[in-house]
Amino acid sequence: MSARRTAWVLSNDIVGMDNQSFGLAEALDLDCVKKRVVVSAPWRYLPPNLWLSPLRFLGAGSDNFAPPWPDVVIGTGRLNVAVAVAIKRASGGRTVNIRVQHPQMNLRAFDIIAAPQHDSLQGANVFSTLGAVNRVTQARLDEAAQQFSAEYAHLPRPLIGVLLGGSNRKYTLDAAFAERLADQLIQAQQHGGTVLITPSRRTDAAVVEVLRRRLPNAKIWDGASTNPYFAYLALADYLVVTADSVNMASEASFTGKPVYVAGLTGGNHKFENFHRSLQARGCTRAFTGELAHWQYQPLDETRRVADEIKHRLGW
């Protein structure tokens, strides 16, 4: 049996980015090593093509980048693009450079680019995805279901899983939104059921406080115990995700369950195009407090991308 290919997964310690990189690496059955990239000034403020000797001038806390070079390097996000290109160059071109999302530099520096459709990126080495690649697999959901099933077995059905994001440069997720969401969730429970809420690292404490006050019977993750995120995906009858996160909407759509998107103040054409595409595919609907059942083909972009990469590279 031949040895598994080695992969360096470049990380800036941004969970949403890491989930995409590691999800793709795992789907490719690569032997992964996380390589931390800490970018200091002035490089973090400059586009990747202007970085000089990126393997020599990384910030304190970065991992060591030296031979032997890996078979594959995978990264997501602007802050490790130049490092990926430098690794491929240092390996004499042997290392396969796989990029998730728009690299914001010459596309020819990469062997494969998996970019979401809303980036409108085109090229012979570009593979477009409807949503974000991720780490959700049926095996991972089955494991989470087994871990949490006893805890949730006694709860009144339906279970309404709520995945909260947070404010970003495009959307505002604040206490006023939490009040509206609470009204809608109360309406959704008019015939019974249980609300399960998992905040993210980006969720403002004031948002959680509003939901805790307005929904006293809801189960809200405390942020200290094991995160039930995958358990909600596995066990909930309905899923509600906030509009700020492409990752959460993509991951929820993997389940084939009814997924509702809770609208937020703000947005831009990329987010709007993404959400329209998910709705057109039948994965999601806007959340108004009404619950309904519908069916669609589960969204597994990670497996689709991995299969395409294996095909293109002859693996």
| Same domain flag for 222 and 84 | no
| Same domain flag for 242 and 276 | yes
User: How many domains does the chain contain in total?
Assistant: 2
Quick check: is 271 in a domain? yes
- Secondary structure of 77-104 in HEC code, one letter for each residue: CHHHHHHHHHHHHHCCCCCEEEEECCCC
pLDDT, residue 90, reads: 96
| Same domain flag for 18 and 69 | yes
Distance CA 309, CA 43 (A): 31
CB neighbourhood size of 65 (10 A): 19
Quick check: is 296 in a domain? no
Quick check: is 295 in a domain? no
Are residues 179 and 211 in contact, defined by beta-carbon separation less than 8 angstroms?
A: no
| Same domain flag for 216 and 89 | no
Quick check: is 18 in a domain? yes
What are the angstrom distances between the C-alpha of 47 and each of 53, 82, 105, 164, 169?
14, 9, 8, 31, 19
| Same domain flag for 73 and 193 | no
| Same domain flag for 254 and 172 | yes
Q: Which domain holds residue 204?
A: 138-286
pLDDT, residue 2, reads: 61
Return the CATH number at 207.
3.40.50.2000
Closest CA to 194 of 232, 245, 243: 232
| Same domain flag for 154 and 280 | yes
Which pair of tokens denotes residue 174?
Answer: 């604040």
| Same domain flag for 150 and 103 | no
| Same domain flag for 110 and 176 | no
Q: Which residue positions in the chain have pLDDT lower than 70?
A: 1-2
Distance CA 146, CA 141 (A): 9
Quick check: is 1 in a domain? no
Which pair of tokens denotes residue 273?
Answer: 């195009």
Which pair of tokens denotes residue 205?
Answer: 């404490």
Distance CA 62, CA 229 (A): 29
| Same domain flag for 110 and 170 | no
Per the listing, tokens 């429970």 go with 189
Quick check: is 291 in a domain? no
Using DSSP, state whether 148 is helix, strand or coil.
Answer: helix
DSSP state of 69: P
Quick check: is 55 in a domain? yes
Pairing of strands 219-220, 194-198: parallel
| Same domain flag for 125 and 142 | no
pLDDT, residue 1, reads: 47
Residue 310's φ and ψ, nearest 5 degrees, are: -60, -40
| Same domain flag for 125 and 148 | no
